Structure 1
Amino acid sequence: MNGDRRGETVVAQGTFDILHPGHIHYLEAAAAMGEELVVIVARKSNVDHKEAPICAAEQRRDVVAALEVVDRAILGDEEDIFAPIEALRPDVIALGHDQYHDPAAIEAELEARGLECEVCRASGRDPQYTDELLSTRLIVDRILERRG
């Protein structure tokens, strides 16, 4: 990651089901990679690598859009996850430190579509205090443990 790349559009993407400090760290790191941060919020139909989101896509988009670090938040395409990338033509795609995506596969798909775009992975962040939860799964587990 290099915060010197000012003037560029950066895309971050994710489910953002229950917003937590790990999301904020990821989006701040992504914003530092360029000038404009556009966040693509995944549709429920595209989330097949983990449990389906609890909150509606529009709600998740609106919460992400409300963050100061985000310039714009949009919903992903239900059929083709690369369609928003083609429309936006970003300079950088910022992946979260623990997102399951394979950067080489993304780069290959970008090249196949004639898109020039750098794929970077944001750094992770350790908890800042006891009991700080940095993942939606951990938050849901804690809720079930305490209220289930």
Structure 2
Amino acid sequence: MVRALAQGTFDVLHPGHLHYLEEAARMGDELSVIVARSANVTHKRPPILDGRQRRDMIAALEVVDQALLGHESDIFVPVAEIDPDVIVLGHDQHHDEAAIERALDDRGIDCAVRRASPRDPAYEGELLSTGRIIERICERRC
């Protein structure tokens, strides 16, 4: 059995997230998803929804076999517990594949690192970014 692992913030779930997770699921027989804890999201604005809500939304998706919150201080703790065969990064995630591969090697975790493809908008104006969705909400409701 091939275990795939995806990870992300998944704040304000949108079709881009679904595309990423569907593609990650096709790379294995089982898909686990690590949802970042709010305190660990430092590369962008903090999530709107708390971690439990975001995890529960991801867990409800048919393509996801297991969803869990990330570790409070070491992002590789749940990776080691899951022991995936492939880690699938989102097409626009800020991660450096080579740095992840080195960290996995240092921890004795043998798995490939791949990057998912971007989703092309299904129609003009489709929003595939949490930040853009929030901007649109602010434009129309604030």
Which of 5, 9, 19 is 2:3 aligned to? 9
Deviation string 1:6-50 (CA, Å, 9 cap, x unpaired) is x20000000001000000000000000000000000001110000
Deviations 1:69-109 (A, max 9, x none): 10110000011001000111100000000000000000000
Runs of 4+ aligned residues of structure 1 deviating over 2 Å after TM superposition are none
Match of 2:24 in 1: 30
Partner of 2:98: 104
Whole-Å Cα distance in 1 between the matches of residues 17 and 91 of structure 2? 10
Structure 2 counterpart of 1:118, from 87, 112, 118: 112
Partner of 1:56: 50
TM-score by length of 2: 0.99
- The number of residues matched between the two structures is 142
Whole-Å separation in 1 of the counterparts to 2:47 and 2:108: 32
Offset of residue 125 of structure 1: 1.0
Instruction: Give distance in 2, aligned partners of 1:52 and 1:82.
Output: 21
Match of 1:95 among 89, 95, 103: 89
Looking at structure 2, the residues matched to 125 and 38 of structure 1 have their Cα atoms a distance apart, in angstroms, of: 21
* Gap regions ≥5 residues in structure 2: none
Alignment partners' CA distance in 1, 2:82 and 2:57: 21
Distance 1:130 1:90 in 2: 37
Q: Residue 35 of structure 2 aligns with which residue?
A: 41
Aligned-pair Cα RMSD in Å: 0.5
State the percentage of identical aligned residues.
63
Instruction: Give me the whole-angstrom Cα distance separating, in 2, the residues matched to 1:9 and 1:114.
Output: 16
Question: In 2, Cα distance between the equivalents of 1:80 and 1:70?
Answer: 23
